[in-house]
């Protein structure tokens, strides 16, 4: 036996299976096959490459960290015709930071929605990777002051998570800036959307009144209230599809293992449901997806998920996105 592994058994050799390839435009996969979705903006250098990639079923434009003027510039960059369908992600009841106040004594922020919650309580940041202790809620529920944390800087537009059972989020579902974004993308011809933090049939009905009842809408389920809506109120129709939005849902659940029951509930209630985020993450550190990554995708597929959306972090970089799409496409051909 040779003292060293051949190139085909090394990470470099395996990388060749998923490295960026010359762009071709294969036929779109059959409806019963696995569909792949990604998140991009037209200003990304690699947008046009993936916008004509027939292996993709959709491109999501995530409005979380973008204002109305920037949105206008992005919409102006869109090609007249796009081979891959475009979806605009609208932010509803998700809590996001609107201002970080200069306060040398503590983290001091304002939110897009007013809240009521018993304090002190722990608040999670950075998808659960950071936290701080919330002490005071003032100015009608919009302003929050913290103690003990967080470790990392927070920015305007970022989300946060309060899991205390006393939490109540007030105000309208859509803040004025979000309503303006909806009007702009609708005027630009969009008829496909994602809606974040869906929690009730009323949330869905209100959004359909804004974008039209014929619009195709993916309903993102991202917390326990969303799961309660799925279990008790959701009524399936052709242009409404559920999304198991694992990025926030995993953080919002009381216990981590409950994500498995949540995933089962969503696909049982909607056989067309999409699952997004927290997949293929090993590609961000290693040139080849891990064994666990492929096993996760296989478990989701075997549970019935036929639409999978890669997370924002992977989609930011062309090499990571290319490797992930190639890996999912290989999975689709060999397993799915």
Integer Cα distance of 150 and 171 in angstroms = 27
Evaluate whether residue 1 is within a structural domain: no
Same domain, 191 and 62: yes
Residue 35 — pLDDT band, cuts 50, 70, 90?
A: very high
Q: What is the mean pLDDT of the chain?
A: 91
Mean pLDDT of 213-230: 97
Domain containing residue 136: 97-166
Whole-model pTM?
0.89
Instruction: Choose one of 112, 145, 166: the last residue of a domain.
Output: 166
SS3 (DSSP) at 49: helix
Evaluate whether residue 240 is within a structural domain: yes
Evaluate whether residue 46 is within a structural domain: yes
- pLDDT, residue 287, reads 87
- pLDDT, residue 326, reads 96
Same domain, 293 and 316: yes
Alpha-carbon separation of residue 110 from 64, 100, 150, 298, 330 (angstroms): 16, 7, 16, 41, 45
Instruction: Choose one of 142, 166, 190: the last residue of a domain.
Output: 166
Residue 18 — pLDDT band, cuts 50, 70, 90?
A: low
Residue 5 — pLDDT band, cuts 50, 70, 90?
A: very low
Calculate what percentage of the chain has a pLDDT beyond 90: 85
- pLDDT, residue 19, reads 57
DSSP structure string for 268-327: HH-TT-EEESSSSGGGGTSSS--HHHHHHHHHHHHHT--EEE--HHHHTSHHHHHHHHHH
Same domain, 86 and 221: yes
Same domain, 186 and 279: yes
Same domain, 301 and 178: yes
- pLDDT, residue 148, reads 80
**How many domains, the chain?**
2
DSSP structure string for 130-171: EEEEEEEEEGGGTEEEEES--SS---TT-B-EE--TT-EE-S
* Backbone region of residue 45 per phi and psi (left: phi > 0; alpha: psi in -120 to 50; beta: other values): alpha
pLDDT, tens digit, for every residue of 255-270? 999 999 999 999 999 9
The better pLDDT of the pair 67, 243 is held by: 243
């Amino acid at each position: 036996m040779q003292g060293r592994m051949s190139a085909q058994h090394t990470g470099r050799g395996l990388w060749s299976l998923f490295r960026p390839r010359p762009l071709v435009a294969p036929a779109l996969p059959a409806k019963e096959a696995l569909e792949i979705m990604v998140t991009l903006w037209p200003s990304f250098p690699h947008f046009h490459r993936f916008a004509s990639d027939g292996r993709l079923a959709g491109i999501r434009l995530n409005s979380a960290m973008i204002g109305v003027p920037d949105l206008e510039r992005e919409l102006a960059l869109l090609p007249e015709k796009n081979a891959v369908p475009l979806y605009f992600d609208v932010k509803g009841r998700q809590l996001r930071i609107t201002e970080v106040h200069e306060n040398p004594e503590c983290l001091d922020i304002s939110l897009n929605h007013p809240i009521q919650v018993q304090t002190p309580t722990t608040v999670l940041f950075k998808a659960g990777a950071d936290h701080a202790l919330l002490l005071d809620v003032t100015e009608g529920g919009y302003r929050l002051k913290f103690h003990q944390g967080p470790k990392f800087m927070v920015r305007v537009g970022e989300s946060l998570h309060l899991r205390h059972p006393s939490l109540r989020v007030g105000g309208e579902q859509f803040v004025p800036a979000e309503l303006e974004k909806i009007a702009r993308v609708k005027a630009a011809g969009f008829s496909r959307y994602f809606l974040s933090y869906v929690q009730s049939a009323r949330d869905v009905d209100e959004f359909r009144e804004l974008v039209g009842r014929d619009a195709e809408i993916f309903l993102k389920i991202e917390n326990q209230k969303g799961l309660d809506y799925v279990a008790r109120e959701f009524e399936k129709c052709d242009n409404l599809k559920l999304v198991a939005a694992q990025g926030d849902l995993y953080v919002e659940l009381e216990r981590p293992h409950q994500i498995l029951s949540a995933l089962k509930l969503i696909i049982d209630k909607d056989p067309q449901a999409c699952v997004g985020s927290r997949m293929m993450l090993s590609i961000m550190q290693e040139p080849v997806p891990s064994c666990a990554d492929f096993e996760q995708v296989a478990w989701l597929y075997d549970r019935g998920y036929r639409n999978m959306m890669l997370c924002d972090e992977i989609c930011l970089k062309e090499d990571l996105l290319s490797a992930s799409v190639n890996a999912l496409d290989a999975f689709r051909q060999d397993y799915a």
